[in-house]
Structure 1
Amino acid sequence: MSSRDTGPDPAPPPPGGVLWSEVGDIRVLLTLPAALTMQVAHPAVGAGVDDYSVFRTDPWGRGERSLRSMQLWVYGGDVAAAEGRRLRRLHRTIQGTDTRGRRYHALAGHTYAWVHATGFPVFLQGRKYLGRPYTEAQERQLYAEWLQVGRILGISDRDMPQSIEEFWPYYRKMLADEIEATPVVRELTDLDTPVPPPDRGPAPVRLLLRVLWPVLLPPMARFRRFVTAGLMPPDAREAIGLEWTSSQERALRRFGLLVRAVVPLLPERLRYLPLAREARAHDRIRRLPV
């Protein structure tokens, strides 16, 4: 049992912090495929997802649940720690043998920490293209806040580098020693992987998508692969073996210019995801003078 299960609940990152603006912004949706692919490139994580996840049969539901969970870590207030406990309970029975013949358990410290650690370099890579790059102070604040989120998830401080200076050697060692193109990585980045049509939203919309899905899926698959590789740090992309060309780089830069120009102009109801909007509204009310 993790010490996080028995000690006082860790608090989520504070309102007004880096994650407060980052995690609820719709641009996070573009970076999630890169983070997920880096996660399942770890043989143990890939095996766990391959053996236990419903990502093949219920990709839209799994994505919706994962996104809501991530939002709760930052915007959930007192619910954040409860969500962390729920995730640990969910992962306690996930175990087996990875692609290298090693026994794995989802909550093993080094495995669980890698899943969380991928978020930090992906945040940096995403900002490079989709927003204004962080200052050094913001980058350090981001890492400190991401460590705090890790505590909410029950990750021990001994399993996560406690500073940026410690993070990069750890990260490079993971890329050199562990990361590979696992079967799940290949499945997620294969343009021909079958994906069922979305099953969320009003019935007429679902019906229309079902009819149009054979036409819509191929360009969506190409775009997903494009943002997966492009918004993944280059050294991770190389370790996994994802192709990236100079023409793709130019296309990503053009796409990033468009996103950077449009998203900041959107009203809050369109720029931020629902839990983030609600939390931001509550925080503004809390700050009003009595």
Structure 2
Amino acid sequence: MSTQDPPPPPPGGVLWSVAGDIRALLMLPAALTMQVAHPAVGAGVDQYSVFRTDPWGRGERSVRSLLTWVYGGDAAAEEGRRLRQLHRTIQGTDTRGRPYHALTPEYYAWVHATGFPVYRHGIRCLYRRPLTGSQERQLYAEWLRVGRVLGIHDRDMPQTIEEFWPYYRKVLDQELEATDVVRELIATDRPLPPPALGPLPLRLLLRVCWPLVLPPFAHLRRFLTIGLMPPDARAAIGLPWTDRQERRLRRFGRVAATVVPLLPERLRYLPPAGAARRAARRHGAPGVTGTGRRLTPRRGVRASSG
């Protein structure tokens, strides 16, 4: 890493406890859907992304990139530069007739900004303990650090939580809509190939069973994508959500909050995150424990509202 490169989030921080946890995989579709609900971002994804032809590969590359931003150390800034280079040729006209470029600060910053409210809401749902006020501020400060790794200037992102929420609500009120890409991401009848995961026997089994597996998987994906989206964003896009679904989400969250912390670290954390956490402990980094339970605030403590 160059001395001029922005540093990634520190070991032992909130992001180190969340971003590589397997529950974070469930939050990512909600963030992606909020991103493409912006007409400019949705148009870019619609015209340039391979999410239709290579959905599993696209998802795997996105997760690997995100983990590098948080756990990659010296590689984080290089990954940020790679992403900016990748997006330099993405431009066109959105559904409102406005020219866009993927690196236009307003649009690039929104893509990044969605991570904070999604993590905040997802932790409430899947950890069943909201962040304390200090943890929220720490999470936001760490997410700003990730933004710098991605090449987002401080002038293009609110620098405090107090500044973030008016900015966030302005985007919800003035920009977000159910774009074509949003509708595709939450569709339950969209064709989806089986994932090419694991050894050959598993891939063959998935291919044979996929016609039976896909329908319930598609409904679960839609349920979690909408449910793990912050309610105000869900409403701004016009996505339906019922009290019955909310009760189901709470039951799902209770199971996740009970079962996942009992898993050994090698199963609880995705491999790059687990490797980074073990290396950090070997080097004596403070706050990186084997249990990863630092996000559990004292009973009765409430997070600051947004």
- Residue equivalent to 1:43: 39
- Residue equivalent to 2:173: 176
Letter of the 1:262 counterpart: V
- Residue equivalent to 1:140: 137
**Among 154, 157, 161, the residue aligned to 1:160:** 157
- Residue equivalent to 2:186: 189
Tell me the TM-score normalised to structure 2 length. Answer: 0.91
**1:59 aligned to 2:55?**
yes
Paired with 1:254 and 1:168, the residues of 2 have a C-alpha distance of 29
- Residue equivalent to 2:66: 70
- Residue equivalent to 1:27: 23
Paired with 2:20 and 2:199, the residues of 1 have a C-alpha distance of 24
The CA deviation at 1:129 is 1.0
- Between the two proteins, the alignment pairs up a number of residues equal to 283
**1:108 aligned to 2:104?**
yes
Paired with 1:158 and 1:192, the residues of 2 have a C-alpha distance of 42
Letter of the 1:238 counterpart: A
Paired residue secondary structure (1:158)? helix
Paired residue secondary structure (1:181)? coil
**1:286 aligned to 2:286?**
no
The CA deviation at 1:35 is 0.4
Paired with 1:28 and 1:94, the residues of 2 have a C-alpha distance of 28
Paired with 1:212 and 1:10, the residues of 2 have a C-alpha distance of 46
1:140-289 maps to which residues of 2 (within 5 A)?
Answer: 140-287=137-284
Tell me the TM-score normalised to structure 1 length. Answer: 0.96
Paired with 2:196 and 2:124, the residues of 1 have a C-alpha distance of 33
In structure 1, list runs of 5 or more residues that go unmatched: 1-5
Paired with 1:171 and 1:250, the residues of 2 have a C-alpha distance of 27
Higher helix content, 1 or 2: 1
Letter of the 1:276 counterpart: A
Paired with 1:72 and 1:27, the residues of 2 have a C-alpha distance of 17
Letter of the 1:252 counterpart: L
Paired with 1:159 and 1:178, the residues of 2 have a C-alpha distance of 17
The CA deviation at 1:66 is 0.3
The CA deviation at 1:156 is 1.0
Paired with 2:18 and 2:46, the residues of 1 have a C-alpha distance of 29
**1:122 aligned to 2:88?**
no
Paired residue secondary structure (2:281)? helix
Letter of the 1:147 counterpart: L
Paired with 1:141 and 1:287, the residues of 2 have a C-alpha distance of 21
Paired residue secondary structure (1:27)? helix
Change (3 A) 1:221 1:9: same
Paired with 1:105 and 1:42, the residues of 2 have a C-alpha distance of 13
The CA deviation at 1:7 is 8.4
The CA deviation at 1:201 is 2.0
Q: Which moved more, 1:113-122 or 1:196-205?
A: 196-205
Letter of the 1:261 counterpart: T
Letter of the 1:82 counterpart: E
Paired with 1:277 and 1:172, the residues of 2 have a C-alpha distance of 35
- Residue equivalent to 1:3: none
**Among 97, 104, 109, the residue aligned to 2:93:** 97
Paired residue secondary structure (1:74)? helix
**CA deviation vs aligned residue, 1:28-69 (integer Å, no higher than 9, x gap):** 011011000000000011011000100011011011100000
